[in-house]
Amino acid sequence: MKLLVSILFLSAITAQASVDTLKPPAPALPGVFADPHIAAFGKKFYLYPTTDGTTGWMSDHFTAWSSADLIHWKPEGTILDLKKDITWADERAWAPAIAYKNKRYYYYFSADVNIGVAVSDKPAGPFKDPIGKPLVPKGKLRGQMIDPMVFVDDDGSAYLYWGQGNCNMVKLNDDMVSYDSTTLTSFRPQGYNEGSFVFKRNGTYYLMWSEYDTRDPRYSVAYATSKSPLGPYIKAEKNPVLKGRDLVKGAGHHSVVQVPGKDEWYIAYHRFKIPDGNGYNRETCISPMRFDAEGNILPVDVYESVPEKKRK
């Protein structure tokens, strides 16, 4: 009898896996968008992606999307146009991030392999450049000056992370648009390529990043932990925590959001568009992200979308 139950259980698991891998969940956003930064402000969630669909990633503007339930996303339109709003770059608008401090919203972005910052009184913009130059200019450090991320700690201190090839970190000044470059540190976690993201849970700081190249089907996400926002970070033993499977390829360049007031977390990321996608045609997805009792991030199921209860 026990043998029969075991066989039936394994058969059910196999059948479920077969069904899942033939039916990937629909993307969160229509069309091709990549490098999504997800955030919660007030009673809404926001997505800030890269506009995809051109060889060489030649987009010249950024959009925002809002949602009350993580399921239905409303387009908020263009929030920053490089050609109109920025004087020092006009193409390659990539990988934005956003942070809230001083009762304002600070939008960090890559533009022509520089990192800029723009400011608004609203999470959906429009955003304006307050300094008229890159916050981090190309060539400042080794690797590409792309993929910014800003983490604001419980005490109000803010930290900027960025870089392809190396993970660079520095504490921002209180104005959020400047920093002391003499305090900048750089390191390269094992496997690190780009797309750093930092969050804090139960006193532990999590640094996450993407491995391989975004055009590689093996593109995936790993993480390390620390007791300080600037490290040292120790890479977790069980990695990657996000990777593609079967029809899902190139799952990476993510961000994480906590549902306000709950220990409930979601990860936004891109994958190759299904069907016929590649590293220049990617789509944004959202899946639950969970932890074990010790605080380790559990593997994310790229065939699991936001649960039905969020629709109610």
Residues that are catalytic:
35, 194
Q: Is the separation of the CB atoms in 170 and 149 below 8 Å?
A: no
d(C-alpha 25, C-alpha 302), whole Å: 8
| Cβ neighbours around 283 below 10 Å, total | 23
Q: Is the separation of the CB atoms in 256 and 208 below 8 Å?
A: yes
Q: What is Dmax (Cα atoms) for the chain?
A: 74
Q: Is the separation of the CB atoms in 140 and 95 below 8 Å?
A: no
221 φψ region: left (φ > 0), alpha (ψ -120 to 50), beta (else): beta
Token pair 């890479």 in the structure block, residue: 235
d(C-alpha 189, C-alpha 208), whole Å: 10
Residues 6+ apart with CB under 8 A from 227: 203, 204, 205
